[in-house]
Amino acid sequence: MFERKQLSHKATWAAAVAAIAGLAGLSPAKAQDSVKIGLILPMTGGQASTGKQIENAIKLYMQQKGDTVAGKKIEIIVKDDAAIPDKTKTAAQELIVNDKVNFIAGFGVTPAALAAAPLATQAKIPEVVMAAGTSIITERSPYIVRTSFTLAQSSTIIGDWAVKNGIKKVATLTSDYAPGNDALNFFKQHFTAGGGEVVEEVKVPLQNPDFAPFLQRMKDAKPDAIFVFVPAGQGGNFMKQYAERGLDKAGIKVIGPGDVTDDDLLNNMGDAVLGTVTAHLYSAAHPSQMNKDFVAAYKKAFGNRPGFMAVGGYDGIHLIYEALKKTSGDTNGDKLIEAMKGQKWESPRGPISIDPETRDIVQNIYIRKVEKVDGELYNVEFATFEAVKDLGKTKK
């Protein structure tokens, strides 16, 4: 008897607590007053660092700017696709059909962004690409907007820069998948057009355990520099083996798009990476005040340095906020896309805008050299190419 009484007592309390919690939860979150953003990111698997950086950056942005825009509460639903396109598609479907999201966003790799494209078109909701970097993505749906980068942007710039700076013979080493091929082709076009010569061309498998034989081939070809594109996580291994094989002492430089010296991993790569010249959209050492504040806040919140993926996420959520402000909270997909076109703002990476024609990002590309700053390795920017559009669109 005693026991039962106590139980029912507890149950009453629980019910009361639940009722209060329910009431409190209900009032600000009426269906029409919230905007839902479905964030599809690789949170596990080889690309997990991309997903984590983007999620962190979005959290940071919402802490700084609040979670209400134009009278609407922003709600983020994160789904993990492990960078597998099938899972991306399922996740996008669930988000659109069950959760009735107003945006889908994220997308760590190109195949994932492409898998969601037809769903965005059908549901008429904006797809904000925050990481994937192949040019064709924005052509696959009129609802896709990108805040990351395209490989054509950095690869063409480094090609032009190399020819003008005394690099005549280049050997290329690129990962054998769509972004790698994009990087290679755009680099080659611009480098050879300027009078440079590609003496050796190697495509390495994406799951590559050991670069040794490929690097030996590079060394024997005796180029002035190696043009490298490997996915962000593999850059460290590449740089270590490059030094181990003595390519640095043989006077062969490393150039490429900035993925190889991603801020996320750069500081652990060792001194061999010093002097590597890359073209990229963002460096944690970018000297603007806005970036200094961003880096400091990010470090304070998450304990490490933001990389270019984090910036893609930060700008992506900013674009969503701005679009909602412009439509005064209207979540009609067509109106939102219209509102996003031509947006211009100051990002931690520098001034950027959304090209109204292609819905792709227009941004400065910086030429940077790896240097030691206060005992840590950073990409230090020394030349700027302003407002670079994506040059890789098939439909001109």
The token pair that represents 127 in the structure block? 């797809």
Cβ distance to another protein smaller for residue 46 or 351: 46
Cβ distance to another protein smaller for residue 269 or 340: 269
Cβ distance to another protein smaller for residue 245 or 335: 245
Q: What are phi and psi of 364, to 5 degrees?
A: -75, 140
Kind and range of the H or E element at 233? none
Cβ distance to another protein smaller for residue 243 or 274: 243
CA 23, 69, 334 angle in degrees (round to 5)?
A: 115
Helices (H) and strands (E) counted in the chain, each on its own, are: 12, 15
Residues lying near another protein in the complex (CB under 8 A) are found at 44-46, 48-49, 52, 202-205, 207-210, 212-214, 216-217, 219-220, 233-234, 236-237, 240-241, 243-246, 264-265, 268-270
Shortest reach from residue 280's CB to another protein, in Å: 18
Shortest reach from residue 81's CB to another protein, in Å: 15
Asked if 225 and 252 count as a contact pair (C-beta separation under 8 A), the reply is yes
Shortest reach from residue 46's CB to another protein, in Å: 6
Report the residue count for the chain.
396
Q: What is the DSSP string of 80-114?
A: E-TT-HHHHHHHHHHHHHTS--SEEEE-SSHHHHH
Q: Which of 157, 162, 132 is nearest to 144 (CA)?
A: 132
Cβ distance to another protein smaller for residue 125 or 230: 230
Q: If phi over 0 gives left and psi between -120 and 50 gives alpha, with beta otherwise, what is residue 146?
A: beta
Shortest reach from residue 324's CB to another protein, in Å: 32
The token pair that represents 109 in the structure block? 């790799």
Residue 34 β-bridge partners:
73
Shortest reach from residue 220's CB to another protein, in Å: 6
Between the alpha carbon of residue 150 and those of residues 28, 186, 188, 205, 216, the distances in Å are: 39, 11, 16, 21, 30
Between the alpha carbon of residue 286 and those of residues 52, 80, 247, the distances in Å are: 22, 31, 29
Cβ distance to another protein smaller for residue 104 or 254: 254
3-class secondary-structure state, position 160 = helix
Q: Which of 362, 303, 330, 369 is nearest to 153 (CA)?
A: 362
Shortest reach from residue 225's CB to another protein, in Å: 18
Cβ distance to another protein smaller for residue 366 or 378: 378
Shortest reach from residue 288's CB to another protein, in Å: 26
Cβ distance to another protein smaller for residue 204 or 367: 204
Cβ distance to another protein smaller for residue 210 or 330: 210
d(CA 149, CA 313): 11
Q: Which of 392, 394, 356 is nearest to 150 (CA)?
A: 392
Shortest reach from residue 257's CB to another protein, in Å: 19
Q: Which of 198, 138, 127 is nearest to 163 (CA)?
A: 198
d(CA 254, CA 239): 9
Shortest reach from residue 306's CB to another protein, in Å: 14
Shortest reach from residue 27's CB to another protein, in Å: 36
Cβ distance to another protein smaller for residue 264 or 355: 264
